[in-house]
C-alpha cells in the first residue's frame, strides 16, 4: 500500500481544526473546509478515522470525507498530461 501522508494529529478548538501532517502543523477554519464540520457537535468532530494510507480523513457520524491533498491544496495532473508536457 502506498503511504501518501503521515497524519500525526488532528485536534479541534473552537471553529478550527489543527492538523499535524508530514511533520508540519496546519490550522484550518472549519467553515472554509466543510459546512458539515462547521455544524458538527464536538462528539461528531472527534469521531474521525484516518485512512491507513494517510490519504484522507472520514467522519462517519456526519458522512463527511476530506482528502489530505485537498486540504493542503495539492493538485493532481493526469499521467497523460504529464507525458505530453515532458515530451
Determine the Cα angle at 27 with ends 22 and 28, to 5°. 115
At 74, the pLDDT band (50, 70, 90 cuts) reads confident
Which tens digits make up the pLDDT trace of 55-68? 999 999 999 999 99
At 77, the pLDDT band (50, 70, 90 cuts) reads low
Going from the N-terminus, what domains does the chain have, and what CATH number goes with each? 7-86 (3.30.2020.40)
Q: What is the mean pLDDT of the chain?
A: 89
Burial of 36 (0-12, 13-18, 19+ CB in 10 A): middle
**pLDDT at residue 72 tops 70:** yes
Average pLDDT over residues 13-31: 97
Amino acid at each position: 500500500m502506498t503511504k501518501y501522508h503521515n497524519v500525526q494529529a488532528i485536534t479541534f478548538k473552537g471553529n478550527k481544526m489543527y492538523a499535524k501532517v508530514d511533520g508540519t502543523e496546519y490550522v484550518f477554519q472549519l467553515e472554509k473546509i466543510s459546512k458539515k464540520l462547521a455544524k458538527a457537535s464536538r462528539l461528531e468532530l472527534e469521531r474521525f478515522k484516518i485512512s491507513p494510507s494517510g490519504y484522507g480523513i472520514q467522519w462517519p457520524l456526519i458522512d463527511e470525507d476530506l482528502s489530505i491533498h485537498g486540504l493542503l491544496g495539492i493538485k493532481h495532473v493526469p499521467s497523460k498530461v504529464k507525458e505530453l508536457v515532458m515530451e
